[in-house]
Amino acid sequence: MISQGVKITTQCVGCDGVLILDTGQSIEGGRLWWGTEGACQCCPAAWCEQDFGDATPEGIRQALLAEHGPARLRLTAPEASGVPVLRALREVHGLSLAQARSLADELKTTSLVGTFVEMELLAARLRHHCVGVTVETSSG
């Protein structure tokens, strides 16, 4: 399983105590999952929320990007056939053909950027369709 997370300390709205948030993304069963757990250190406030799909809440994405930096997905052979690239993009993101073409052009000319987990999910789908890709992070 591929995952990435971050712990955030903030103020509890219920008691002004210390609230610890444990949040992140993971790939499970070929799907992008996101989750967050919160627990106040001073009162009984606590919760857990998890879901899957394209729409990770932006707060979770931004926390991961701030903590770990962005990941960059690059084609290892930019001249690769566009058909498997389009197919993979449509499968992962549920895009229209026009949207997939636009994203494929971006992938071929510059790269795609997102969280490490998002880029690894897309990389796995592209590799499934025999498209060579790499995922680069600022840490290596």
Check whether 130 has a pLDDT greater than 70: yes
In which element (H, E) is residue 89 found? Answer: helix 82-93
Q: Do residues 85 and 35 share a domain? A: no
Provide the token pair at 115.
Answer: 């969280």
Q: CATH number of the domain that 90 lies in? A: 3.30.1390.10
Of 25-29, 66-70, 128-132, 136-140, which range is least confident? 136-140
Query: What local confidence, expressed as pLDDT, does residue 139 receive?
Result: 64
Provide the token pair at 48.
Answer: 């857990």
Q: Do residues 15 and 55 share a domain? A: yes
d(C-alpha 102, C-alpha 109), whole Å: 11
Query: What local confidence, expressed as pLDDT, does residue 44 receive?
Result: 95
Mean pLDDT of the chain: 92
Q: Do residues 6 and 63 share a domain? A: yes
d(C-alpha 107, C-alpha 123), whole Å: 11
pLDDT digits (tens, 9 = 90+) for 31-62: 999 999 999 999 999 999 999 987 789 999 99
Check whether 78 has a pLDDT greater than 90: no
Check whether 121 has a pLDDT greater than 70: yes
- How many percent of the chain have pLDDT more than 90? 83
Q: Which of these three, 45, 67, 89, is where a domain ends?
A: 67
Q: Which of these three, 28, 48, 67, is where a domain ends?
A: 67
Q: Is 36 in a helix, a strand, or coil?
A: strand
Helix axes 97-109, 82-93, angle to 10 degrees: 120
Query: What local confidence, expressed as pLDDT, does residue 119 receive?
Result: 96
Check whether 129 has a pLDDT greater than 90: yes
Instruction: Give buried/exposed letters for 52-81 (b at 16+ CB in 10 A, else e).
Output: beeebeeebbebbbeebebbbbbbeeeebe
Mean pLDDT of 74-96: 88
**How many C-beta atoms lie closer than 10 Å to residue 126's C-beta?**
23
Q: How far is CA 105 from the centre of its chain?
A: 20
Residues of the domain holding 132 = 71-137
Q: Do residues 9 and 56 share a domain? A: yes
